[in-house]
Amino acid sequence: MAEIRILVADDHAILRDGICSLLERQPGIMVVGEAGNGQEALGQVGKLRPDIVLMDVAMPVMDGLEATRRIKEAYPEVKILILTQHDNREYVEPLLQAGASGYVLKRSGGREVVMAIRQVYEHGAFLGPGVARQVLKNYVQANEHAKEDTPHLTERECEILKLTVKGKSNKEIAALLVISPKTVSVHRTNIMAKLGVHNSAELVRYAMQHHLVNLE
């Protein structure tokens, strides 16, 4: 099985060392490089071509938002997983729109960070539960009327979309809904076709922008 190649970008050397130490102990994960700011991260991506950049937001020289935009423009195949202390909508929304595939908080445990990396690598998207609830709740409350213009989803498709936004894999969704993973995959394919998206990351962003799910 191929290892997941990670670049860690954070301006705090002690925290960066701790993250690298955590990840290097995980099977199937390899830290291929580090960066102390967004500009360094952009240069390192060009040299190392990691699968995922674990990206802080508040960094000198070039912040995580601008670095995410530039990396996705130049290397669209590289996934960006945001790791930050900020969980308010003003931070989350622009980063997802810039192309980030996931968002996990620094106060999360190491287990959740590792899970987020694997989810982004395998399924293309991850939002920590607290972030997802807050962002989606704000969107729903502010723009409930946007639902009227979106394609109709069946009850089962809505269930699967909700669990997808929560970061659940096909196997996990299948276990929760007592159906086969293949059936979940078929439903996900139908959902993406209806909504005009092509992968899980786009699906999560669409659900957020159009207020399709309520995680409460």
Structural domain boundaries of the chain? 4-127, 143-209
- DSSP SS3 for 152: coil
pTM above 0.75, yes or no: no
- CATH class for domain 143-209? mainly alpha
Whole-number Å distance between alpha carbons of 190 and 178: 19
Quick one: tokens of 30?
Answer: 């390899």
Q: What is the pLDDT along the chain (216 residues), one digit of tens a residue?
A: 679 999 999 999 999 999 999 999 999 999 999 999 999 999 999 999 999 999 999 999 999 999 999 999 999 999 999 998 887 767 787 888 899 998 898 888 899 999 999 999 998 888 877 676 655 555 555 555 544 555 788 889 989 998 988 888 899 999 999 999 999 999 999 999 888 888 888 888 888 777 777 655
Strands across the sheet with 29-35, in order?
A: 29-35, 4-9, 52-55, 79-84, 102-105, 126-127
Say which CATH superfamily domain 4-127 falls into: Response regulator (3.40.50.2300)
